[in-house]
Structure 1
Amino acid sequence: MTKYLISFPSGEMDATPADMAAVSAASHAVVQEAKNAGVWVFGGGIDEDITPVRVAADGTVTEGTYPQTARIEGGYTVLEVPTRVEAEAWAAKIAAACRCPQELRAFMYDPAS
């Protein structure tokens, strides 16, 4: 089976602060549905209050990130499903819960993971 990354930038959510409790409940319901279906691998939101760092091979830590990834934020879900069609169906459920379109990407096959 293929692992898929389903994600969205937080600025794309179409929800007011008053809506966030309902959005949270809806997204947690989809997470539980994915867990019950046995397709859940991992998910969560990026903590935008914590500055990203880069860690070099020698352990040197540098505050900041690569220029092309400076705006990584929002929510991320990894599911493992048999087909892209099924991944698209899950992405649609997440889009409805989070009130914004989701980006879908497939991870390359790696027999060790």
Structure 2
Amino acid sequence: MPQFLVAIHHPDDFDPDTAENQALMDGIHALNVEMETAGVRLFAGGLQSARSAKSLRAQSDGKVLITDGPYLEAKEHIGGFWMLETKDLEEALAWGQKAVIACRAPVEVRQFY
């Protein structure tokens, strides 16, 4: 069966610990339970803020430069993701639609090779 990445995109200032985001976190938890019950969830994880990222780039001298911050300068970054195994893209997109509602954020669905 094909496997898909379902990635949540959060704004840079997203803070899951605020009281206003508790309902959001409850919705994500409910979706996790639903995915587990359906047997499609392989793995899921939330990521710390993009501000805590380290970017690594190869240099012409063969060394690797490590800098603070995300690789891409953007207003939104991946805040979490699911790895799903579904029968096809249509089923993965159906889960992606549920993720958009639960996360109140844009979601990207991409198939693994």
Fold conserved (TM > 0.5)? yes
User: What is the Cα-based RMSD across aligned positions, in Å?
Assistant: 2.8
For structure 2, the 5+ residue unaligned runs are 59-63
**Quick one: percent identity of the two aligned structures?**
30
Aligned pair count?
103
Q: For residues 73 and 94 of structure 1, what CA distance do their matches in structure 2 show?
A: 13
Q: Give the CA deviation at 1:47.
A: 1.1
Amino acid at match of 1:94: A
Once the two structures are superposed, the pairs formed by residues 42-81 of structure 1 within 5 Å of their partners are: 42-48=43-49, 50-54=52-56, 62-64=66-68, 67=71, 69=72, 72-81=77-86
**How high is the TM-score relative to the length of structure 1?**
0.73
Which residue of 1 is the match for residue 26 of structure 2? Answer: 25
For structure 1, the 5+ residue unaligned runs are 109-113
Q: For residues 19 and 35 of structure 2, what CA distance do their matches in structure 1 show?
A: 26
Structure having the higher strand fraction is 2
Q: Is residue 88 of structure 1 aligned with residue 93 of structure 2?
A: yes
SS in 2 for 1:74: strand
**How high is the TM-score relative to the length of structure 2?**
0.73
